[in-house]
Amino acid sequence: MKDKILEKFLRYISVDTASDPESSSQPSSAKQLDLSRMLLKELKEMGIVDASLDEFGYVMATIPSNLPAEKKVPVIGFIAHVDSAPDAPGAGINPQIIKEYNGEDIVINKDKNMIMKVEEFPELLKYRGQTIITTDGNTLLAADDKAGIAEIMSAAEYIMGNPDFMHGEIKIGFTPDEEIGRGVDKFDVTRFGAEYAYTLDGGEIGELEYENFNAASAKIFIQGRNIHPGYAKDKMINAIILGTEFNSLLPVEQRPEFTQHYEGFFHIIRFDGTVEEATIQYIIRDHDFEKFDFKKNLIEESVTYMNKKYGRGTFRLELKDQYFNMKKQVEPHYHIVEKAVTAMEMAGVKPQIKPIRGGTDGARLSFMGLPCPNIFAGGHNFHGRYEYIPLESMAKATEVVLNIIKLYAK
């Protein structure tokens, strides 16, 4: 199965599917549909007749139950997203495949002096002797979430090729635009038809998550005043300087590089501007809803303060909620977490139940009536040029999917 998973994964990452946060269309980038059409074709070639791709870029498919008609079991879904993060280039991915990894530093790109040092990435030692797939330092790898797609597709192929494998009705879903927080904006839960689902969008092997950040975005527009610098005294208002002053109002210790576990953060993700105009973008995250509200209020109060200091209208804020912590939606159906734990143990994988320091489509789906915890896809260092994934972790994720299906069929 590892060879088949690898073949699928390499094929999927060859398609550039970066989403576009500046686009208002769905999907945000038409190139995502190139992979969606590929997946639709492969699902039908497996013999899954009920497979479709709609106008919004959602691929949905059903594998009918082969259990006796009188045996009723829950309909279970498995979901991954086709888009890759726009944080790093996603076109022309040229993966390096390191077989029987020896536990030493990995040269990502010699010309750029990019080395993944074990001292800095000690988790590499967990994968000694395994096959590790890395980038070549020019792009991300897009294991987030094409590993999840390869794992679901491999499980589906196994089921369709082994009619003696007993299972209830299974739903498969692939979404666009997860990386920009719009993955399920137009997802039809009723049409999908699952009672419970799992996203395969987690990190290292064993991760199992049913808590995630509450999330918001903040975009701040700053109006400056440009005057010739030779005559600027008491007249110039430098929007760039105002932007840096605004950022200094936020607590330094609540930046991502200083937080872990349940600690939330303010993360400045973009700063563009000139003396005349500037724009700052943040993402705001916290697991605790009261702390989340406090963070949003602090942004609003900081804008108010800067407008009082520099004049009304100097700062303008667009603050938007993106998703919320799915914990309270999943806990009433905790058996779906317990099934995943058992499925991992059956595969020889030690479950690591932890909060997601991020979000998944499953967070919003849980609030839409589809309880949906998140399972590991197997990758590390997502969204950047140091991204990598062990092939054995992908194989175990596929095994876990099949075990969950077995458990629900009993």
Amino acid at site 329: Q
Q: Could you give the C-alpha distances from 89 to 79, 136, 141, 179, in angstroms and in order?
A: 24, 12, 9, 14
CB neighbour list of residue 113: distance below 8 Å, 6 or more residues apart: none
Token pair 């330094």: residue: 252
The answer for residues whose C-beta is within 8 angstroms of residue 93's C-beta and 6 or more apart is 13, 14, 16, 135, 139, 140, 141, 142
3 state DSSP class of 86: coil
Catalytic residue from among 20, 83, 286, 399: 83
Q: In what order do the strands lie in the sheet with 277-286?
A: 265-273, 277-286, 214-223, 315-323
CB atoms within 10 A of CB 56: 15
Contacts of 208 (CB under 8 A, 6+ apart): 202, 337, 340, 341, 344, 351, 352, 353, 354, 373, 374, 375, 376
| 113: helix, strand or coil | coil
Bridge partner list, 175? 81
Residue 377 CB-density burial (10 A; 0-12 exposed, 13-18 middle, 19+ buried):
buried
Residue pair 93/14 in contact by the 8 Å Cβ criterion: yes
Q: Which H or E run includes 6?
A: helix 2-13
Question: How far is 5 from 310, CA to CA, in rounded Å?
Answer: 58
Q: Does the annotation mark 178 as catalytic?
A: yes
Contact 246, 262 (CB under 8 A): no
Please give the single-letter amino acid code of residue 72: K
* Amino acid, single-letter form, for residue 212: N
Instruction: Kindly compute the dihedral angle of the four CA atoms of residues 51, 194, 403, 4, in this order, to the nearest 10 degrees.
Output: 20
Q: Which of 20, 151, 157, 178 is catalytic?
A: 178
Active site residues: 83, 178
